[in-house]
Amino acid sequence: MLLPPAESARTVIPLIDHTLLRPDATQAQVRRLCEEAVFYGFAAVCVLPWWIPDVVRDLQGSPVNPCTVAGFPLGAHLPASKAAEAALCVEHGAREIDMVMAVGAFKDKAYTAVEHDIAGVVRAVGTKARVKVILETTLLTPAEIADATRLALGAGAAFVKTSTGFFGGATVEAVRLMRETAGPAAGVKASGGIRSLADALAMIKAGATRIGTSAGVAIATGTA
């Protein structure tokens, strides 16, 4: 039985990407994730590509978006591979793609190659899905975070996102810098280590318009 949403969480709930990216996730867990997302009214369910057909089926008729990842979790896939993965997931019904930036190439200042990598995914999904670019902010300096934000949005991404969670999580400082750089129109997703309503509210105050978390139910019910 699901607990009712907390009044204090009502502004946060529609911004949550309810996330399960564990390699040992099971079909039953994914189905439960979808049930929770529909019940609370989360923005999206974010899973590994294997589970996208199940998620699309389980979310059918609801406003919750099926979301998956490309080039996850390291971002070092060949550009054609990332684009093909994203396109195939969209064919199966994904409506949001969280792709990982080629962080090493970015650190090497291969900006044109990184921009082409992102733009390739954006082209591959066309108008059928929004692309969020994971910058892996804990591996970047503040100047690099700003540069990566500009590069990703310039390549056509709808959102910039802080982290995969594999190398640390979102910080208020990174989110604030991403928002200041992106301006008011672009999406900013805070993800990684957000486990409580207080965490989520701090990220939103800093400028996040999406919250990626595996603790969506605890945040929605105020039990975390």
**Does residue 2 fall inside a structural domain?**
no
Residue 144 within any structural domain of the chain: yes
Q: Is residue 67 part of a domain?
A: yes
Residues paired with 96 in a beta bridge: 67, 130
**Contact by Cβ (8 Å): 192, 168:** yes
pLDDT at 193: 97
Question: Which pLDDT does position 34 carry in this prediction?
Answer: 98
pTM over 0.95: yes
Look up 189 and say whether it is catalytic. Answer: yes
Q: Is 30 left (phi over 0), alpha (psi -120 to 50) or beta?
A: alpha
Q: What per-residue confidence (pLDDT) applies to 224?
A: 79
For residue 186, what are its two tokens?
A: 């672009």
CATH number reported for the structural domain that contains residue 205 in this entry: 3.20.20.70
User: Is 209 domain-assigned?
Assistant: yes
Candidates 82, 117, 132, 161; catalytic one: 161
Can you give the pLDDT at residue 1? 86
What pLDDT score was predicted for residue 19?
98
DSSP, residue by residue, 71-128: STTT--S-HHHHHHHHHHHHHTT--EEEEEP-HHHHHTT-HHHHHHHHHHHHHHHGGG
**Domain interval for residue 174:** 7-221
Asked, for residue 1, whether it belongs to a domain, the answer is no
For residue 128, indicate whether it is catalytic. Answer: no
Which whole-number Å values give the CA distances from 155 to 26, 115, 116, 118, 215, in the listed order? Answer: 35, 6, 7, 6, 31
* Whole-angstrom distance, CA of residue 112 vs CA of residue 99: 17
How many domains is the chain built from?
1
Low-confidence ranges of the chain (pLDDT < 70): none
194 found inside a domain: yes
Which residue of the set 17, 58, 98, 199 is catalytic?
Answer: 98
Is residue 215 domain-resident? yes
